[in-house]
């Protein structure tokens, strides 16, 4: 019996920039390219009892750039690619909305688009998840804010796009150099993997003096542009 069998915890994962390489509004399965080597870390956490749940903003639907069927094919491909390595995705949740969209019914503000926690809360209900025992891994601070709001612990994958958080709600518990590093941090903290020596990593320009704290006066330097989804 694993340590987590008496509860149902999850690893929530953003899609673009976290599970797969970032690209601008992918619309075909072959455009979703998994980061190399993440299957081992995902598999280790799954074997420890964590559910694996993808939570992704997909405003391309509201913008008319692809259809629900297109998205379904992309996500089936993503699940199949991971399944080849023995990794099972327990759920994929997406938000189709954006207030600047062009598709009627989707061009609205909602409570599911990150940084709102709506998709996480829905997954917790559907899959009977213990959010306090769960983690959210994402590459932008909107992911972190959504995970924090839902009561999860959070890891930011540093792609060089995010400045230091302006307020505690957007501060991650940990920052990782890559998704593989994020998964190693979680495994080490949960006691299901080896110790991770680089758990205190912070991007250049961030305040390293404290966790869950605002940045120093004057603000951080700007970082690379990120891709919105």
pLDDT of residue 218: 39
Catalytic position from the list 14, 139, 143, 158: 14
Element (H, E) at 93: strand 91-95
Give residue-wise pLDDT tens across range 204-216: 888 653 444 443 3
Based on the residue annotation, tell me whether 16 is a catalytic residue of this protein.
Answer: yes
Q: Does residue 213 belong to any structural domain of this protein?
A: no
> Reduced to 3 DSSP states, what percent helix, strand and coil does the chain have, rounded to the nearest 5?
30, 15, 55
Tell me whether residue 3 is in a domain: no
Catalytic annotation, pick one of 16, 143, 158, 173: 16
Is residue 228 a part of any domain in this protein?
no
The pLDDT value recorded for residue 226 is 54
Written as six digits, the tokens of 183 are 């998964």
Q: CA dihedral in degrees (192, 144, 56, 197; nearest 10)?
A: -30
Looking at residue 205, what is its pLDDT? 84
Q: Residue 212: inside a domain, yes or no?
A: no
The pLDDT tens digits of the residues spanning 96-147 come to 999 999 999 999 999 999 999 999 999 999 999 999 999 999 999 999 999 9
Which tokens hold the place of 97? 């909305």
pLDDT of residue 206: 86
- In the beta sheet, which residues pair with residue 94? 56
Both tokens of residue 18?
A: 């976290």
Count of domains forming the chain: 1
pTM, whole model, 2 decimals? 0.89
**φ, ψ for residue 76 (rounded to 5)?**
-65, -40
Whether the predicted pLDDT of 95 surpasses 80 = yes
Phi, psi for residue 52 in degrees, rounded to 5: -115, 120
**Is 128 a domain residue?**
yes
Which tokens sit at 96? 């189709």
What pLDDT was estimated at residue 56?
Answer: 98
**How many Cβ atoms from other residues are within 10 Å of residue 96's Cβ?**
21
Instruction: Give the tens place of pLDDT for each residue, 43-71.
Output: 999 999 999 999 999 999 999 999 999 99
**Mean pLDDT confidence for 2-22:** 84
The boundaries of the domain holding residue 55 are 10-190
User: Does some domain include residue 219?
Assistant: no
Q: Once rounded to an integer, what is the mean pLDDT over residues 153-172?
A: 96
pLDDT confidence bin for 7, thresholds 50/70/90 = low
Domain at 143, CATH number: 3.40.50.1000
Say whether pLDDT at 222 is over 50.
no
pLDDT at 228: 62
Residue 214 within a domain: no
Query: Which pLDDT tens digit goes with each residue over 172-196?
Result: 999 999 999 999 999 999 999 999 9
Across the chain, mean pLDDT equals 90
Give the helix/strand (H/E) hosting 135: strand 135-138
In a domain, 167, yes or no: yes
């Amino acid at each position: 019996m694993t340590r987590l069998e008496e509860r149902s915890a999850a690893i929530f994962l953003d899609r673009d920039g976290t599970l797969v390489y970032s690209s601008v509004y992918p619309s075909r399965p072959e455009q979703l390219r998994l980061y190399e080597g993440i299957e081992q870390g995902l598999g280790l956490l799954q074997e420890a009892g964590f559910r694996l749940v993808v939570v992704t903003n997909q405003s391309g639907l509201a913008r008319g750039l692809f259809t629900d069927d297109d998205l379904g094919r992309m996500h089936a491909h993503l699940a199949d690619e991971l399944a080849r390595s023995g990794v099972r995705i327990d759920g994929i949740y997406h938000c189709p909305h954006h207030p600047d969209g062009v598709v009627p019914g989707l061009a609205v503000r909602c409570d599911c688009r990150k940084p709102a926690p709506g998709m996480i809360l829905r997954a917790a209900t559907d899959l009977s998840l213990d959010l306090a025992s769960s983690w959210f891994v994402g590459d932008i601070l909107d992911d972190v804010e959504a995970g924090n709001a839902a009561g999860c612990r959070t890891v930011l994958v540093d792609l060089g796009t995010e400045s230091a958080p302006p307020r505690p709600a957007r501060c991650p518990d940990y920052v990782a150099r890559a998704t593989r590093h994020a998964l190693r941090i979680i495994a080490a903290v949960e006691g299901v993997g080896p110790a991770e020596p680089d758990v205190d990593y912070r991007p250049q320009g961030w305040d390293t003096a404290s966790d869950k704290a605002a940045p120093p006066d004057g603000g951080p330097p700007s970082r690379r542009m990120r891709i919105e989804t």
